[in-house]
Amino acid sequence: MPSVYSIDQSAVTGKRTPAATRPGVETRNTLCATCDISCNVVTEIKQGRVVRVRSSDNPIFKDNICMKGIMAPKAFAHPDRLMRPLKRVGERGSGRWEEVSWEDAMSDIARRLQTIIDRDGPEAWAVSTSQWNTATDHGLGRRIMNHVGSPNWISGVALCAGNTAAINRMTYGWFPWADFANTNCIVLFGHNPRRNSWVPVYNQIRRAQARGAKLIVLDPRKSENAGRADIWLPLRAGTDAAMCLGWLNVILEEGLYDKAFVENWTIGFDELRARVAEYPVERVAEITGCDPDMIRKAARLYATSGPAVIPWTPITDMQRNSTSAIRLHSILRSVCGYVDVPGGEALQGFNPDVVSESEIEAHEVLPEAQKAKQLGSDTHPAFTYRGQASLRPHTKRVWGTEYANQITGCFMANPSATFRAMAGEGPYPVKAFFTLGNNTLLSFANMPLILKAMMNQELIVVHEQFMTPTAQLADYVLPGDSWLERPWLHDAFGWSSMVRPSEKSMEPPGECESTFSFWKRLAAAMGRADIVPWKTIEDFYDYRLEGTGMTWDEFSKSHEIYFGPLEFRKYERTGFATPSGKVELKSSVLEGLGFDPLPYFRDDPPPNPEFPLMMFTGVREDEYFQTGQRHVPELRARKPEPNLFVSPGTADEQGITAGDWVEVVNPTGKIAIQVAVRDTMPDGLVRIPHGWWKPEMKQGAGHLSGALAHADAQLCPDDEDFLDREQGIPHLKGIPCRISKLEAPPEGAQ
């Protein structure tokens, strides 16, 4: 994640700070991949095992560590860790497995996959992989799929940053990187980094505030950052796009925008102005529930205290108006003159010395006819091949490559459409599903649909460290290595030009293997060893690093961070990578796809009296990354149960108190959860934490280790009323529900 380091690259590129050592202890410079921010940390090794993970000795990475990183050696040494390839021997989900060799597993997998492809076409094979880096597959999965002919790749990046990248490209051709180190004003749309959540971003925000930068927070809840903000706007959940339209109304009306930039470098300003005029502050105050004067104050602060940043936020990635909200962030940045300037949001391009994962993916080899079959691209195309196609020549013109797959989010299939096809609901069969480092069942909307989709598969292959609910439904569960046990070249997913190495600290236990080795084995077993020609992961990194003049060994021993050349206002030389070459306030790409080219706010469906409360899923748990780590006793002791946050007023009204168990119900599903009363919550809105299951509970179909009882995805709808029109991603910030008290705690409650 690039947005966390100084943009003054000369200060950070180059030789690394050697880790302090102690007698009998070896150290390695590594990147923690327990979550997706990848802190630079030091591992300490005794007798071939990592005994400690600690903060880096390099001052620029100071204090970038959290309890999850510190607990990693214990988490990966846990007795539940998967050690050998397992093959299903009973019914799907019966929990009956036999151990097999990697060779037998991979030759059977390849044979069965080929049978499905021969019968139903390569598009009958779908793959899901983890968010960013927990189990990065270096683009190799995409590469094999592209060679074999399947466009049906999905990932959590569809609702976290990948989709933001795809939508940002529509406005100014690249997804920018916030220059925290030099900015004068930070605007957090919900995004709430904390001491144990994305610590490097948290530290950057605190440092910026310490040197006087302003902080504006928009959050229905009085979050940790809201408590430290200059302005906090407690907007109604799901109304971020309306709020941005209100800000623009103030900024345009009051002439607070950058007139020269708008004049020279944008198209569609007049049309935007007309659209924005439909959202006077009084109307926006009504939609968002915020005080109109505070809205004006915040808009003025953003426009006049710049350069300012609106750092990426997942909150607007998960809304009914996601495309408009993300576009509105891009438009605010643009009209205020904060694009590609120091202290604003920089457009960086891939590192020219390093072969990007995007290039490894080889999107050019997938035939157009197969691209056209990508699931969801007919109805919700924004981040599919079709949605991004008109940008290709312009991306090539400015960034040197036609297929710039930033954050791996620019050429994805739509997850809901993919699950529908897997469930047999058309438009064509999808019968083989591979998932690597992704607890698929819990990690998208509409878990009942995902369950049906998985039960309808002929072949499910899961590459995992633990027997997750998703793995419990597989034909093969293959044991994955961890970030302590492999080297890693982190290329910032094309968000910035930053590249960082992570050294291998220890050998993987048992027969655990990397995703590199999985894909290499699969290509070979399918008779296509040529697709992954590198012998080892180090050879692969040598190849990718050739342009630096260093081998992997040299690079990882000498560098902690490596940037490409920095150039602000590159557009003055090349134009923007959009069809017009300008910043498209009115999007020709969206227009070409048949959507409204201007941002808008689409209101909630009419209220349903049966479901009078609103819920959102989120506020990450300090102790866990997404659906993981519930098996680690030290972390679990801090947070043993999933908690529903509710305001004291709503708790009274519902007749519930802290510690009660309640059922949360809506038309999608229901879960059991324990009440936690919080005066930081607004009335009428409840929070459901993401990703709960209990590894100690009974495995297999019908149980799935408590996932059926507790996972938020049971409550997340994905019917059209709850999908963003352009992308087809689900609205997770404002879902109707009702709660009722349970007479007794559910099975497994501690």
Ligand X SMILES: Nc1nc2c(c(=O)[nH]1)N[C@H]1C(S)=C(S)[C@@H](COP(=O)(O)OP(=O)(O)OC[C@H]3O[C@@H](n4cnc5c(=O)[nH]c(N)nc54)[C@H](O)[C@@H]3O)O[C@H]1N2
- 584: β partners: 267
d(CA 39, CA 353): 23
Q: Which of 4, 7, 37, 686 binds ligand SF4 (CB under 6 A)?
A: 37
Looking at residues 280 to 319 of the shown chain, list those that interact with ligand X (rule: CB under 6 A).
313-315
Looking at residues 196 to 225 of the shown chain, list those that interact with ligand SF4 (rule: CB under 6 A).
198-199
Smallest gap from residue 130 Cβ to ligand SF4 (A): 14
**Binding status of residue 36 toward ligand X by CB under 6 A:** yes
Amino acid identity, position 365: V
Smallest gap from residue 267 Cβ to ligand X (A): 29
Residue 466 binds: one of ligand X, Mo ion, ligand SF4, none (C-beta under 5 to 8 A by kind): ligand X
Measured from the CB atom, the residue of 132 and 476 that comes closer to ligand SF4 is 132
**Binding status of residue 141 toward ligand X by CB under 6 A:** no
Amino acid identity, position 43: T
Residue 220 binds: one of Mo ion, ligand X, ligand SF4, none (C-beta under 5 to 8 A by kind): ligand X
Smallest gap from residue 33 Cβ to ligand SF4 (A): 7
**Which SS3 state, helix, strand or coil, does residue 646 take?**
strand
Q: What backbone torsions phi and psi does residue 319 show, to the nearest 5 degrees?
A: -135, 155
Cα 378 from chain centroid (whole Å): 23
Q: How many CB atoms lie within 10 A of CB 743?
A: 5
Q: Which of 64, 131, 324, 517 binds ligand X (CB under 6 A)?
A: 131
Dihedral angle sign, alpha carbons of residues 316, 318, 322, 323: positive
- Which residue number has the CB closest to ligand SF4? 69
Q: If you search the block for the tokens 């505030």, which residue do you land on?
A: 209
Looking at residues 348 to 387 of the shown chain, list those that interact with ligand SF4 (rule: CB under 6 A).
none
Q: Which positions are annotated as active-site residues?
A: 36
Per-residue binder mask for ligand SF4 (CB under 6 A), 590-629, x = binder: -----------------------------------x----
Q: Which residues does 428 contact at the CB level (< 8 Å), separation at least 6?
A: 120, 121, 123, 124, 373, 421
Q: Which of 2, 618, 642, 682 binds ligand X (CB under 6 A)?
A: 618
45 in Cβ contact with 27 (< 8 Å)? yes
Q: Which of 7, 35, 233, 713 binds ligand SF4 (CB under 6 A)?
A: 35
**Binding status of residue 325 toward ligand SF4 by CB under 6 A:** no
Measured from the CB atom, the residue of 198 and 518 that comes closer to ligand SF4 is 198
Per-residue binder mask for Mo ion (CB under 5 A), 160-179, x = binder: x-------------------
Smallest gap from residue 161 Cβ to Mo ion (A): 7
Smallest gap from residue 160 Cβ to Mo ion (A): 3
**Which SS3 state, helix, strand or coil, does residue 344 take?**
coil
Smallest gap from residue 39 Cβ to ligand SF4 (A): 3
Taking alpha carbons only, the member of 626, 697, 627, 635 closest to residue 470 is: 627
Residue 199 binds: one of Mo ion, ligand SF4, ligand X, none (C-beta under 5 to 8 A by kind): ligand SF4
Torsion angle, alpha carbons of 146, 147, 149, 155, to 10: -30
d(CA 250, CA 498): 36
Looking at residues 56 to 75 of the shown chain, list those that interact with ligand SF4 (rule: CB under 6 A).
65-66, 68-69
156 in Cβ contact with 727 (< 8 Å)? no
Smallest gap from residue 165 Cβ to ligand X (A): 14
Angstrom CA distances, 200 to 36, 181, 195, stand at 11, 12, 9
Residue 406 binds: one of ligand X, ligand SF4, Mo ion, none (C-beta under 5 to 8 A by kind): none
Measured from the CB atom, the residue of 240 and 475 that comes closer to ligand X is 240
Measured from the CB atom, the residue of 66 and 335 that comes closer to ligand X is 66
Amino acid identity, position 340: D
Altogether, the residues listed in the chain come to a count of: 750
130 in Cβ contact with 514 (< 8 Å)? no
Q: What backbone torsions phi and psi does residue 371 show, to the nearest 5 degrees?
A: -60, -40
Per-residue binder mask for ligand X (CB under 6 A), 425-454, x = binder: -----------xxxx---xxx---------
d(CA 361, CA 161): 19
Vertex 74 angle, CA 70 and 79, to 5°: 160
Furthest-apart CA atoms within the chain: distance in Å: 70
Smallest gap from residue 408 Cβ to ligand SF4 (A): 18
Residue 240 binds: one of ligand SF4, Mo ion, ligand X, none (C-beta under 5 to 8 A by kind): ligand X
Measured from the CB atom, the residue of 478 and 593 that comes closer to ligand X is 478
Q: How many CB atoms lie within 10 A of CB 290?
A: 24
Amino acid identity, position 746: P
Looking at residues 147 to 186 of the shown chain, list those that interact with ligand SF4 (rule: CB under 6 A).
none
Per-residue binder mask for ligand SF4 (CB under 6 A), 180-199, x = binder: ------------------xx
Angstrom CA distances, 673 to 105, 116, 576, 641, 645, stand at 39, 41, 49, 8, 10
DSSP letter at 605?
P
| C-alpha R_g of the chain | 24
**Binding status of residue 188 toward Mo ion by CB under 5 A:** no
- 91: β partners: none
Smallest gap from residue 642 Cβ to ligand X (A): 12
**Binding status of residue 604 toward ligand X by CB under 6 A:** no
456 in Cβ contact with 370 (< 8 Å)? no
509 in Cβ contact with 83 (< 8 Å)? yes
Q: Which residues make up the interface to ligand X (CB under 6 A)?
A: 35-36, 130-131, 134-135, 156, 159-160, 189-193, 196-198, 218-221, 223, 235, 237-238, 240, 313-315, 436-439, 443-445, 463-466, 468, 480, 482-483, 616-622, 624-628, 690-691, 712-713, 716, 732-733
Q: Which residues make up the interface to Mo ion (CB under 5 A)?
A: 160
Q: Which residues make up the interface to ligand SF4 (CB under 6 A)?
A: 32, 34-35, 37-39, 65-66, 68-69, 198-199, 625
